[in-house]
Structures are given as structure tokens and as C-alpha cells.
Amino acid sequence: MPLKALIIDDEPLAREIVKRYLSIHPEIEVVGECYDGFEALKAIQQLNPDLIFLDIQMPKLEGFELLEVLQQHPEIIFTTAYDQFAIRAFEMNAVDYLLKPFSKERFDSALLKAVKRIKQGSAEETDIIGQLRQHIDTSQGLIERVVTRLGSKITVIPVDRIWYIEAQDDYVMIYSESGNHLKEKTMKFFEEHLPSNTFVRIHRSYIINISQIAAVDQYTKDTHLVTLKCGAKLRVSEEGYKRLRTYL
């Protein structure tokens, strides 16, 4: 039975060249082509491919964001014109990283590696997605948007539309214009990766968007209460108030 491959790229000719290169490999069957991250997510869930060829810059949901909301673990060969993600990809143990334009020889060697890895099965399978997640957590600078997933529904929230973030055990709840979204991330992550000129951690459980503040009132002797434009009233710890005061 041939291995199932999925090609994800927003440029038709870029998909075409991968298809052409694959055409002489009967052991690989192209089960689908996707032109953006949303399509890719649907296709991966439906077709359950063994291998994906993934571009990084795409409309709607880009390569790394797609991997963030993915639960299955297909092998990944990156295909991109950007060399700045290359080191990152190798660190993450992605099967290979092809810089466009790539030769047939280069492509075949990547494919060989992928096939070997798939055939060896889960024993040597590395959790690329997990590493990716961790990598995104630690190595990325400031984030510009947050991707959340509820069942099959994906939401992309630009950070400036976030009202506030609340800690909920291993998750955080993101309150925004587009509703409330649960995300598997730590408060620490958001504290470090949201722009510090708009977001401030006011409490162990809350990070707020400063532009959403409607009022700040005394609550008890040591604590304050922040009222946001959306109506939420949030406790401010003593420590948090010190931080908050620098913005007011």
C-alpha cells in the first residue's frame, strides 16, 4: 500500500513541482493538495496522510500555526523560500527542509529519509509537533496572533483584539471580540510573548489589555479592582498594582 502524501502550498506551480517529482515514486500517493492552512487542517483530519509537504507562508493559517492546532503526527518536509526557519526546523527534527527552488536529487533524498522514518514506525518516531509547540513557546519573540481550536473550529485572534486572559488550570481562557477561547498555554507564556506596552499581568490569574481598562478602584486595603470596557471586574494583586501603576 502506497504512503499517503499531502501537498500544502498556496502557489499552484509550487505544488506542481512536488507532484512532478513524486510522479516517478509509485510508493507515494498524493492524496490531496491544499492552498491554505484551513484547507490543510481539514484535509489532514479527513485523509490522515503519512507525510506532508508544508510551506510556511500561507493565507489564513501559516505553517507553524497549522502545526500548533494539529493533533495527528504526520511526518513533515518543509518547502519554503525562507532560509531563516531552516535551523529551527532541523533543531525540531523535521524530516527535512527544502529551500525553494530545490533539485530533484535534493527532493529524492528528503523523500528517502521520510519513507525510512515512516517505515521504521513509532519506535523512532519523534514528536515533531510536541517539539514544535515547545519551540514556538521558547524561541519566538512577540506573538501577533493566537490560534485556538474547538473541535474542528479554528479561530485566529489578533492580539490587539484580546480583552483579557484568565488562568484556568492547565489552560488559559482568552476573552476577546470574537468570544471566549480556551488555549493550552501557560500564563507565563502570554506574559512573556504579548507586547508589554499593551498587556500587563495584574494578578496571578489575569493578564489584561491596557486599552480595555474602564476604571481602577480600591478594593481592600492592599488590593484593587479593575473594570474593563466589556464589563468584567478583575482583582488586582498588590504586586500587580505596582506593575499596573506604571501604565496609568
Partner 1 sequence: MAISAIQFVLLYNTFTFSTWLSVTDSLVFNSVFALLGSGLWFMVQYSGRQQKNLFGMLRYHLAGVTFVTLLWLGLSSLIMRTIAASDSVYLEFLTKSVTFRILAGVLLYFLQITVFYLLINIKELKERMEREASLTTMLREAELNKLRAQIKPHFLFNSLNSVSALTLTDPMKAQEMVIKISELMRYSLSMGDEAMSTLKNELYHAGLYLDIEKVRFSDRLLVKEDINPECEDWPVPAMILQPLLENAVKHGVYNMSGPSSIHLIVKCDQEYLNVFIDNNFDVDSSPRKGTGTGLQNVKSRLAAIYSRHDLLSITKKEDSFAVLLKIPRKS
Interface positions with partner 1 (CB under 8 A): 10-14, 16-17, 20, 35-36, 38-39, 57, 59-60, 81-82, 99-102, 144-145, 156-158, 161
Of 130 and 158, nearer to partner 1 (C-beta) is: 158
Smallest separation (angstroms) from partner 1 to the CB of 150: 17
State which H helix or E strand residue 218 sits in: strand 213-218
Q: How many CB atoms lie within 10 A of CB 161?
A: 13
- 70 phi/psi in degrees, rounded to 5: -85, 145
Residue number with CB closer to partner 1 (176 or 237): 176
Which spans in 102-231 are helix H? 104-120, 128-139, 187-193
Q: Cβ 2 to partner 1, closest distance in Å?
A: 22
In terms of CB distance, is 17 or 136 closer to partner 1? 17
Instruction: Tell how strand 199-203 and strand 179-183 pair up.
Output: unpaired
Q: Which is nearer to partner 1, 34 or 236 (CB)?
A: 34
Cα separation, 40 vs 58, in Å, equals 11
- Of the pair 38, 189, the CB lying nearest partner 1 is at 38
Q: How far is the CB of 79 from partner 1 (least distance, A)?
A: 8
How far apart are CB 17 and partner 1 at their closest, in Å? 4
Distance CA 114, CA 35 (A): 22
Phi and psi of 113, rounded to 5°?
Answer: -60, -45
Contact of 172 with 187, CB cutoff 8 Å: yes
Let me know: does 15 contact 60? Beta carbons within 8 Å.
Answer: no
Q: How many CB atoms lie within 10 A of CB 166?
A: 18
Pick between residue 19 and residue 73 the one whose CB is nearest to partner 1. Answer: 19
Q: How far is the CB of 3 from partner 1 (least distance, A)?
A: 23
Q: Please state the closest distance from residue 147 (CB atom) to partner 1, in A.
A: 10
Query: Whose Cβ is closer to partner 1: residue 107's or residue 241's?
Result: 107
State the Cα–Cα distance between residues 227 and 202, nearest whole angstrom: 12
Q: Looking at the DSSP assignment, which residues form a beta bridge with residue 107?
A: none
Closest CA to 235 of 213, 248, 221, 219: 219
The least distance separating partner 1 from the CB of residue 25, rounded to whole angstroms, comes to: 15
